[in-house]
Amino acid sequence: MARMRIGLAQLNPIVGDIEGNTRRVREMIERGADSKIDLIVFTELVITGYPPKDLVLREQFVDRNIKAVNDLAEQSRYGPTAVVGFVDRNKENKGASLYNAAAVLMDGRIATIAHKSLLPTYDVFDEHRYFEPAESTTHFELSVDGRIHRIGVTICEDAWTDESCFAGRRYRRQPVAVLGNAGVDLVINLSASPFVVGKQMYREALIANHAKSIHRPVLLVNQVGGNDELLFDGASFVCDAAGKTVHRAAAFREELSIVELVEAGNCHGTLNAYPENIASIREALVIGTRDYVRKCGFENVVLGLSGGIDSAVTCAIAVEALGADNVLGVSMPSRYSSDHSVTDALALANALGIEIRTIEIHQMHTALENELASHFEGLPPGIAEENIQARIRGNILMALSNKFGRLLLTTGNKSEIAVGYCTLYGDMCGGLAVISDLPKTTVYDLARHINAHAEREIIPQSTIEKPPSAELRHDQHDQQTLPPYDMLDAILHHYVELDESVEDIIAIGIDEQTVRRIARLVDTNEYKRKQMATGLKITSRAFGVGRRMPIAAKF
Amino acid sequence: MARMRIGLAQLNPIVGDIEGNTRRVREMIERGADSKIDLIVFTELVITGYPPKDLVLREQFVDRNIKAVNDLAEQSRYGPTAVVGFVDRNKENKGASLYNAAAVLMDGRIATIAHKSLLPTYDVFDEHRYFEPAESTTHFELSVDGRIHRIGVTICEDAWTDESCFAGRRYRRQPVAVLGNAGVDLVINLSASPFVVGKQMYREALIANHAKSIHRPVLLVNQVGGNDELLFDGASFVCDAAGKTVHRAAAFREELSIVELVEAGNCHGTLNAYPENIASIREALVIGTRDYVRKCGFENVVLGLSGGIDSAVTCAIAVEALGADNVLGVSMPSRYSSDHSVTDALALANALGIEIRTIEIHQMHTALENELASHFEGLPPGIAEENIQARIRGNILMALSNKFGRLLLTTGNKSEIAVGYCTLYGDMCGGLAVISDLPKTTVYDLARHINAHAEREIIPQSTIEKPPSAELRHDQHDQQTLPPYDMLDAILHHYVELDESVEDIIAIGIDEQTVRRIARLVDTNEYKRKQMATGLKITSRAFGVGRRMPIAAKF
């Protein structure tokens, strides 16, 4: 019986680092050769890293990525056949347009090149900005022990829709279906499919449907690691011809895993468990934080610790990502700070084993108030006075960041960023917003999970239990300004993630006045989010490149 | 002889304000009826304002814009035929996809709807994100005094390319050429074509070529006003069948202008002069500032005045846009400020007739230094200490902004933003970056132009002549850190605007070490620009939505 051994190479490329990425592709191919595999499949645009964004508009960038693939091809004489994602030029118009492509490297040459047919241009994706769609599908033949295997090549979105999406549309047909009709033995898919909570189940169901409808196994290799706001979870997998997941690689780490195709439609592999939802969020934020910090060239980070839940969770993630020695916490109490704001911050630092410094803001606060007193005379105190304190803290944290070369982490959650319950240039200061896509209720869930996962109290119980407060005036509490967080998060889910109208949200039974007020807050705070730090995306709709709202607007 | 009178209605819509925009369309139609015109042509997506961005993903938003067009149609019974840009649903797939569309309103109904064929998805444009391309072109028939005119309808990008762009591409044919072949008498184009210095000449040459190649007049109506970073200059125009511009509306203001088609190919109109390059920049920044401030709901602004050229030019633009009464300047001298930093700021405020306040930062600076002293002990002073001062100024300006409800203008130029010669959360604070797309050399040109245009010294001569300095340490000058601005701006033009490689720029004869250093500064300061304010775009490539670079990257 003819067997084919296939390697699924899920790498964590650095965007733009053509030389480094290519070197690691080469190492993986060599490891694959040692493991006697016949075919090794890499991820989408592995040579450039995904998404390369406007780097692909640079001629030299495309030149160098093509040269890298040609070099790899020469070295393919003795190793397994390799399928590698890269940016290809359209030769028909002298390179005036580009393709998102996969090169099949075999016997010392490029045997064929497949181009992506369906170009996602929604949410965080801009592929029509860069690429031209393929006109037709591509497959290649691979001879193993005298038997010829016909292997169809697809790239990410090509397999992301089923036939039903094409009804009434004017696109060409579904690429996997076309390959099935062409009689291939196997379809492979090179992916860079960003993590969203719960998405892996959807991915596997989708690929299972393809496999069942063409009666052939389908293999998907997914990128791993964080690139700016996008997190990739790996968890590459194979569905057999019956649509059963017979192989699943590890989630959230680099791996070369191997699956064996034993006869048409049957495969042997290894089934790694995919983490539960809340654990997947933790792992996604950990890899996203580690990769952003390291890929930006930093070793360590600094963040403010208020004793509250947001900074506590952010800090715990940072420690898991970078190690306790690389995280510095700063407590900055003011005249409005409660005692527990300091004690809870110290307890957290102690539990995590990180250094914490205390810097009083009283003197600076007074100096600023004195200087502004004559200008503010006769006006009641309000938001302006509250923000001043948050901005003094931002100034201190940035001074420490600049002085010691530590990246500043910002700690805002999705609920407060949505309604603008945060200070621009104050607590919004920082290079990376670790939990900016977590609604406040999820932040609490994650805090409890962090303690359960560690089997000890990392996030102080008092931090979890006390009512949340910005502590920018006496006896301030979030719920003086905002509705209860479970109601707020429900409204935001419908309004931001599902893009539903105010009327639709009222119709599901939430208080009309509250819905209207929150929707208006979301709309009018677009200007703050315009200037927010890069935030790690974990939901289907995060603030950032996937949500492009006008600022000077009225609706 | 059959004459047809056509109104070119260049409006300044507010993005998302369907009700307000529709009301103004109706008013224009009524004015057109008073002027006995036969046809009135509006701009691209005039009902929603361009660009509506992700608002079009909201079902209710699309519903309301369609209802607005239906209401306008009913009222078209007695007025001229009107062509109105809006978002249409694809009825074939039950609205699962959308079109960028133009409705022809005639005799109380929608006579026909044209869809945009070519969807720009480059630079600042994301139309593939929202719309599906038309499969075919559309024209309609209009009877005037018993003669039938066949009028082809195109939308912006449909006329933005000539036939040569389609060689080797797989797109359908050039829409204007297709309409020419179909024998139309006139082609109209509904545009929202953003201002770029010198672009009008290119626009008119392009449309002239279309007119000549189809031997028919072509009429283009362009949006006017600022919507976030995009500025629209109006200057709608008509080329006759010989390709001659026979009509040009005013630039940078709303207008209903009228052209008369006297016989096939001949037209009578009015030729407004288009402003010279430097004047066009001034007018673009003025309308962009006014519209951003007003469309965001603000009446007035505040900005820091350092005595330097950037804040002086920004302030002069703000006064022209909003009036002297609506602009507040703030001088914030420190221990490192020169005497002229205060005197030049006062002279500027005096020349412009605006209020200026002086707030010393010495006390706050000392308080912050004292608090950080123990943490910074033994380390030489550097960037961290410099940034602290800029961030204290940012805090003061934001306090005034918050307290008095004034939008804060930020004053950085393109050269310093490119290389990161600016302080995040310091001088980068603000809602609108007025001159962020002007290289420093252009800022000087504009300063001289402002004085020449006013026929008096608005920007103090001393501000124009003194060597630029951030004044964040003793005897600091920009040229201690940066190359001369003419060399810096030349490098940036090639590297940022033309996306050329370091090697190409060295090859044109600029010092290799300088080119490499500047390119590296541009790359490593992407994180600052991620958080910059909305900046008004005047070049072919501005920082902002038209330039999408990864941050955690290596190339």
Tell me the one-letter amino acid at B27: E
Residue B296 annotated among the catalytic residues of the structure: no
What's residue A24's pLDDT? 97
Do B290 and B175 reside in the same domain of the chain?
no
Do B263 and B286 reside in the same domain of the chain?
no
Query: Which of A372, A531, A553 lies nearest to residue B531, judging by beta carbons?
Result: A531
CATH code for the domain of A70: 3.60.110.10
Residue B70 DSSP one-character state: H
B239 located within any domain: yes
Structural tokens at position A249: 């690689």
Query: Could you give the ipTM of this predicted complex?
Result: 0.95
A486 located within any domain: no
End-to-end CA distance of chain B: 65
Nearest CA in chain A to B294: A552
Mutate which: A403, A417, A503, A536, vs B, most B CBs within 10 A: A403
A496 located within any domain: no
Residues 6+ apart with CB under 8 A from B397: B302, B303, B304, B330, B408, B429, B430
B291 contacts in chain A (CB < 8 Å): 552
Domain end: A475, A506, A526, which one? A475
| Integer Cα distance of B548 and A228 in angstroms | 12
Query: Which of A370, A391, A552 lies nearest to residue B228, judging by beta carbons?
Result: A552
Q: What is the largest CA-CA distance in chain A?
A: 91
pLDDT digits (tens, 9 = 90+) for A480-504: 889 999 999 999 999 999 999 999 9
pLDDT digits (tens, 9 = 90+) for A273-295: 999 999 999 999 999 999 999 99
Do A209 and A358 reside in the same domain of the chain?
no
Grouping H, G, I as helix, E, B as strand and the rest as coil, residue A460 is: coil
| Integer Cα distance of B119 and B127 in angstroms | 5
Pairing between strand B218-222 and A138-144? Answer: unpaired
Do B290 and B143 reside in the same domain of the chain?
no
Within 13 Å of residue B215, how many CA atoms lie on the same side as its CB?
Answer: 4
What's residue A1's pLDDT? 45
* CA torsion angle A517 A520 A522 A526 (round to 10): -150
A445 located within any domain: yes
A376·B403 Cβ contact <8 A: yes
| Integer Cα distance of B127 and B120 in angstroms | 6
Mutate which: A19, A290, A368, A516, vs B, most B CBs within 10 A: A368
Residue B125's closest CA among B433, B432, B550, B540? B540
Residue A451's closest CA among A282, A324, A335? A282
| Integer Cα distance of A319 and A188 in angstroms | 37
| Integer Cα distance of A230 and A30 in angstroms | 29
What's residue B192's pLDDT? 98
Nearest CA in chain B to A528: B431
Whether B99 and B130 have beta carbons less than 8 Å apart is answered as no
Query: Which of B18, B375, B552 lies nearest to residue A295, judging by beta carbons?
Result: B552
Whether B361 and A368 have beta carbons less than 8 Å apart is answered as no
B554·A16 Cβ contact <8 A: yes
Out of B127, B132, B156, B255, the active site residue is B156
Model confidence at A240: pLDDT above 80: yes
What's residue A337's pLDDT? 85
Domain end: A252, A273, A294, which one? A273
A160 located within any domain: yes
Residue A125 DSSP one-character state: -
Backbone φ and ψ for B226, nearest 5 degrees, come out as -105, 135
Do B394 and B286 reside in the same domain of the chain?
yes
| Integer Cα distance of B489 and A320 in angstroms | 44
Mutate which: A398, A425, A528, vs B, most B CBs within 10 A: A425
Number of domains in chain B: 3
Do B138 and B227 reside in the same domain of the chain?
yes
Do B116 and B181 reside in the same domain of the chain?
yes
A506 located within any domain: no
Tell me the one-letter amino acid at A126: D
| Integer Cα distance of A288 and A281 in angstroms | 10
What's residue B95's pLDDT? 77
| Integer Cα distance of B393 and B345 in angstroms | 15
Query: Which of A93, A379, A425 lies nearest to residue B168, judging by beta carbons?
Result: A93
Residue B104's closest CA among B127, B132, B133, B80? B80
B399·A368 Cβ contact <8 A: yes
Query: Which of B90, B170, B379 lies nearest to residue A403, judging by beta carbons?
Result: B379
A125 located within any domain: yes
A54·B548 Cβ contact <8 A: yes
Mean pLDDT on A359-365: 93
Count other C-beta atoms under 10 Å from residue A540's C-beta: 14
State the alpha helices, DSSP H only, in B238-338.
277-295, 309-322
Residue B300 is part of which domain span?
280-470+527-535
Within 13 Å of residue B22, how many CA atoms lie on the same side as its CB?
Answer: 17
Tell the residue number behind the tokens 């959807």, with chain if given.
A202
Q: Kindly report the nearest CA distance between residue A41 and chain B, in angstroms.
A: 24
Out of A132, A156, A229, A283, the active site residue is A156
B549·A94 Cβ contact <8 A: no
Do B520 and B531 reside in the same domain of the chain?
no
A388·B399 Cβ contact <8 A: yes
Do A299 and A438 reside in the same domain of the chain?
yes
Burial of A474 (0-12, 13-18, 19+ CB in 10 A): exposed
A370 located within any domain: yes
Mutate which: A328, A397, A432, A531, vs B, most B CBs within 10 A: A531
Structural tokens at position B171: 């797109």
| Integer Cα distance of A13 and A48 in angstroms | 8
Q: How far, CA to CA in Å, does B66 sit from each of A506, B88, B432?
A: 23, 7, 32
| Integer Cα distance of A498 and B158 in angstroms | 33
B387·A399 Cβ contact <8 A: yes
Cα of A417 vs its chain's centroid, Å: 18
State the alpha helices, DSSP H only, in A117-217.
127-130, 175-181, 199-214
**Number of Cβ pairs closer than 8 Å across A and B?**
270
B384·A376 Cβ contact <8 A: no
Domain end: A426, A442, A475, which one? A475
Q: Kindly report the nearest CA distance between residue B283 and chain A, in angstroms.
A: 19
Model confidence at A170: pLDDT above 60: no
Residue A44 annotated among the catalytic residues of the structure: yes
CATH code for the domain of A380: 3.40.50.620
Query: What percent of chain B stands above pLDDT 90?
Result: 89
Pairing between strand B407-410 and B301-304? Answer: parallel
Residue A156 annotated among the catalytic residues of the structure: yes
Any idea how long chain A is? 555
* Average per-residue pLDDT for chain A: 95
Do B75 and B168 reside in the same domain of the chain?
yes
Model confidence at A465: pLDDT above 50: yes
Do A260 and A295 reside in the same domain of the chain?
no
* Secondary structure element (H or E) that encloses residue A261, with its range: strand A255-263
A55·B501 Cβ contact <8 A: no
Do A236 and A177 reside in the same domain of the chain?
yes
Running along chain B, 555 residues long, what does each successive block of 10 average in pLDDT?
88 98 97 95 98 96 97 91 97 87 97 97 96 94 94 97 63 86 96 98 97 96 98 98 97 97 84 98 98 97 97 98 98 89 96 97 93 94 94 98 98 98 97 98 98 98 92 84 94 96 96 97 96 98 96 92
Residue A408's closest CA among A531, A311, A529? A311
pLDDT digits (tens, 9 = 90+) for A528-547: 999 999 999 999 999 999 99
A402·B425 Cβ contact <8 A: no
